[in-house]
């Protein structure tokens, strides 16, 4: 019952996200409007450009190969900087601005902004955790150790939980990327989850998405009893491709509200739990698979805790190789660690754009 309620909520939430993502950009702020109106317009503008205006290929090259970003983050930063000037007391805007600086790889500016929040709210758990963790990723272990010790005194349970999450993330990084079909016995309670990728401008499938679908097709042919869940706003074309290549439509479920990997996980898990799925093979690109596994495992743990049930889903993966070699795919860069920790915070409930975007 609870899972059905969650599905309805997710459908509505996804519909709202889709509508807002397709809306026209807000008009430039009017100097004659009230301060509150101007701030609201700037927030709307920031969120529009979070989803629009950028070049996926350039964004991916700038930050990390496995991160698909559609926005113009310079425009996001400009809007939030102005909003923060208009209301310097709004800590949520500062959190959002720091998150944008991270997307721009302006790490000193991001850390300085978290420091501003801590100067105003020294005991804020999220600001301490983000500032400490990102300081460590930036090479400052002393600040991380100092902040975590302080958080253990102030918030012992939450701090312990995040230490466990960090340990699980680092353990997951030891799992090698596999481009082979997992040797899982054919079973009805097994689902192949295929993650979407941005379509071409003309609406056709991009090369990375075709690579993922070809990998999923091999999985589906190996395990003819397994069902398939295609996840992302690209789910319709993905389903059509699979059907064109011999997969029965009855085997395919669509989750078509998600715009990014976090939403892939949050919106797909209730569907899997509703069907009492016991094992999942995630199919995505090699550059994306570590993030996807981490997010799906964290989301599965969250829903199990929320529903008061044991964690029962076992996750494996099969990756489309988008690196020159498997050896290169298994190298973990510092850039990827920044992205992984950012998404760990998101999936654990720390919004990167509080009240606006997880």
Does 14 score more than 50 pLDDT?
Answer: no
In this structure, the answer to whether residues 163 and 201 fall within a common structural domain is no
Q: What is the pLDDT of residues 269-280, one digit of tens each?
A: 999 998 889 999
Q: Residue 357: what pLDDT?
A: 84
CA distance 297 to 314: 9
**46 found inside a domain:** yes
**356 found inside a domain:** no
CA distance 241 to 287: 22
Does 59 score more than 70 pLDDT?
Answer: no
In this structure, the answer to whether residues 28 and 152 fall within a common structural domain is yes
**238 found inside a domain:** yes
**135 found inside a domain:** yes
Confidence of residue 2 (pLDDT cuts 50, 70, 90): very low
Q: Residue 71: what pLDDT?
A: 87
**8 found inside a domain:** no
Question: What is the pLDDT averaged over residues 113-118?
Answer: 98
The residue that leads in pLDDT, 151 or 33, is 151
In this structure, the answer to whether residues 47 and 146 fall within a common structural domain is yes
In this structure, the answer to whether residues 25 and 80 fall within a common structural domain is yes
Check if the beta carbon of residue 323 is closer than 8 Å to that of residue 286. yes
Among 89, 138, 85, residue whose Cα is nearest residue 111: 138
In this structure, the answer to whether residues 24 and 168 fall within a common structural domain is yes
Under DSSP, the state recorded for 25 is: P
Question: What is the pLDDT averaged over residues 114-118?
Answer: 98
Does 125 score more than 70 pLDDT?
Answer: yes
Does 9 score more than 60 pLDDT?
Answer: no
Q: What is the pLDDT of residues 40-49, one digit of tens each?
A: 999 999 999 9
In this structure, the answer to whether residues 113 and 255 fall within a common structural domain is no
Among 58, 142, 36, residue whose Cα is nearest residue 105: 58
Q: Residue 41: what pLDDT?
A: 95
**178 found inside a domain:** no
Q: Give the domain extent around 48.
A: 20-172
Does 12 score more than 50 pLDDT?
Answer: no
Does 188 score more than 60 pLDDT?
Answer: yes
Helices (H) and strands (E) in the chain, counts: 15, 5
In this structure, the answer to whether residues 132 and 210 fall within a common structural domain is no
Does 39 score more than 90 pLDDT?
Answer: yes
pTM strictly above 0.85: yes
Q: What is the CATH number of the domain that holds 69?
A: 1.25.40.10
Does 120 score more than 70 pLDDT?
Answer: yes
CA distance 239 to 85: 47
The residue that leads in pLDDT, 217 or 9, is 217
**38 found inside a domain:** yes
In this structure, the answer to whether residues 113 and 216 fall within a common structural domain is no
Boundary of a domain, candidates 172, 203, 225: 172
In this structure, the answer to whether residues 214 and 272 fall within a common structural domain is yes
Check if the beta carbon of residue 41 is closer than 8 Å to that of residue 29. yes
φ, ψ of residue 319 to 5 degrees: the values are -105, 145
CA distance 104 to 110: 10
State the total domains in the chain. 2
Confidence of residue 181 (pLDDT cuts 50, 70, 90): confident
Mean pLDDT of the chain: 89
CA distance 131 to 108: 11
Boundary of a domain, candidates 172, 198, 228: 172
Q: What is the pLDDT of residues 224-254, one digit of tens each?
A: 989 999 999 999 999 999 999 999 999 999 9
Question: What is the pLDDT averaged over residues 129-154?
Answer: 98
CA distance 355 to 154: 25
Q: What is the pLDDT of residues 66-108, one digit of tens each?
A: 666 678 999 999 999 999 999 999 999 999 999 999 999 999 9
In this structure, the answer to whether residues 194 and 140 fall within a common structural domain is no
In this structure, the answer to whether residues 136 and 255 fall within a common structural domain is no
In the sheet where 227-231 sits, what is the strand order? 252-255, 227-231, 190-195, 279-285, 314-320
**342 found inside a domain:** no
Does 295 score more than 90 pLDDT?
Answer: yes
In this structure, the answer to whether residues 124 and 212 fall within a common structural domain is no
Boundary of a domain, candidates 102, 137, 172: 172
Q: What is the CATH number of the domain that holds 279?
A: 3.40.50.620
């Amino acid at each position: 019952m609870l899972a059905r309620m969650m599905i309805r909520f997710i459908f509505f939430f996804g519909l709202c996200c889709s509508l807002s993502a397709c809306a026209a950009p807000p008009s430039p702020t009017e100097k004659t409007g009230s301060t509150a109106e101007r701030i609201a317009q700037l927030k709307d503008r920031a969120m529009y450009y979070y989803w629009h205006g950028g070049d996926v290929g350039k964004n991916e090259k700038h930050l990390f190969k496995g991160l698909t970003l559609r926005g113009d983050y310079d425009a996001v930063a400009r809007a939030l900087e102005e909003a923060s000037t208009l209301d310097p007391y709004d800590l949520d805007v500062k959190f959002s601005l720091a998150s944008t600086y991270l997307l721009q790889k302006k790490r000193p500016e991001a850390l300085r902004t978290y420091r501003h929040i801590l100067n105003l709210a020294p005991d804020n758990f999220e600001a301490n955790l983000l500032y400490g963790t990102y300081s460590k990723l930036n090479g400052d272990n002393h600040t991380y150790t100092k902040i975590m010790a302080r958080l253990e005194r102030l918030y012992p349970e939450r701090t312990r939980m995040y230490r466990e999450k960090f340990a699980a993330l680092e353990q997951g990084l030891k799992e090698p990327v596999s481009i082979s079909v997992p040797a899982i016995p054919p079973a009805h309670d097994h689902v192949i989850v295929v993650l979407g990728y941005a379509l071409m401008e003309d609406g056709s499938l991009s090369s990375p998405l075709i690579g993922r679908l070809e990998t999923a097709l091999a999985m589906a042919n190996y395990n003819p009893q397994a069902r398939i869940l295609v996840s992302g706003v690209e789910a319709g074309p993905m389903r059509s491709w699979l059907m064109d290549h011999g997969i029965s439509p009855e085997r395919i479920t669509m989750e078509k509200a998600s715009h990014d990997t976090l939403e892939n996980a949050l919106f797909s898990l209730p569907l899997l739990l509703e069907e009492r799925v016991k094992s999942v093979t995630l199919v995505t690109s090699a550059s994306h698979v570590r993030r996807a596994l981490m997010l799906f495992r964290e989301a599965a743990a969250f829903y199990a805790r929320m529903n008061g049930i044991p964690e029962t889903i076992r996750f494996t993966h099969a990756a489309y190789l988008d690196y020159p070699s498997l050896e290169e795919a298994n190298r973990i860069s510092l850039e990827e660690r920044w992205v992984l920790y950012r998404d760990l915070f998101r999936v654990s409930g720390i919004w990167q754009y509080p009240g606006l975007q997880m």
